[in-house]
Amino acid sequence: MTDAHHLFSTYSSCVDNLKVEIADGTLSPVASKGSIHISESITLNPVLHVPNLSCNLLSISQLTKKSNCSDLSLGKTIGSAKEREGLYYFNKTDVLGQCPPTVCNYASYPKDNELLLWHKRMGHPSFQYLKHLLLSLCSNKTLLDFQCEVCELAKHHWASFPKSKYKPLIPFTLIHSGLWGPSRTPNRTHKKWFITFIDDHTRLCWVYLLTNKTEVRSIFMNFHSMIQTQFHTKIQTLRTDNGTEYF
């Protein structure tokens, strides 16, 4: 992908309304597709002309797959680029005449994908640990380059709940309720669920076992009646997780 219109040797306007997402998250329209000669032996095709790009981007995997650029039969080098901070920079005297350095993306290098795959298969161990096991996949890499989205998210802390000013001073002002289940193994009476009612003031907890979720309504009605008849009071607030079983 490039923003430099003048580099193209063939150029056809793009009818597909293609858009690419650039680094700031916005979508940029693709103006056209074409081919670019970057050296005597390498022609890139297709190259997208994206006017909003601020540098040229080249996918190494795309290059090796689509362009017939790795001359394996002769074994000779047909191009070189220096790696700096995870990107390859072509020397501007080598290719593209006087244009700015071409930046190549190496994120889809097969060994990186394989290392990430093993990281996932083995239950997300640290990359330092993986290096001991899979040294061949880690060579020439700074392990800090690897980032696993799942690991990043798993290390996030939950934001704490704000402290509530409300303090119930008498029983049954506030009842917390939650339903749990189904358990894989039913108990001896074939129950797979339980529901709890916890009084916020006394912390007393009532637990009822259920065969089916649909019993929540009748169990709550019984609990509600029990509070009225046995304690001569009423539940003022029932707090739940808004689960549909309470509707």
DSSP-assigned beta bridge partners for residue 44: 36
Long-range pairs, 183-191, Cβ under 8 A, ≥24: none
Q: At closest approach, how far in Å is the CB of 127 from Zn ion?
A: 9
Residue corresponding to tokens 């795309």: 62
Ramachandran angles phi, psi of 21, nearest 5°? -90, 125
DSSP-assigned beta bridge partners for residue 89: 82, 103
- 51: tokens are 């006017």
* Residue nearest Zn ion (C-beta atom): 148
Residues that bind Zn ion (CB under 5 A): 124, 148, 150-151
Question: Closest CB to Zn ion among 129 and 180?
Answer: 129
List all residues 6 or more positions away from 64 whose beta carbon is below 8 Å from its beta carbon: 70
Q: At closest approach, how far in Å is the CB of 142 from Zn ion?
A: 17
Question: Closest CB to Zn ion among 155 and 203?
Answer: 155
Question: Closest CB to Zn ion among 93 and 128?
Answer: 128
Question: Closest CB to Zn ion among 27 and 150?
Answer: 150
Q: At closest approach, how far in Å is the CB of 108 from Zn ion?
A: 18
In 3-state terms the chain splits into helix, strand, coil percentages (rounded to 5) of 25, 25, 50
Q: At closest approach, how far in Å is the CB of 131 from Zn ion?
A: 15
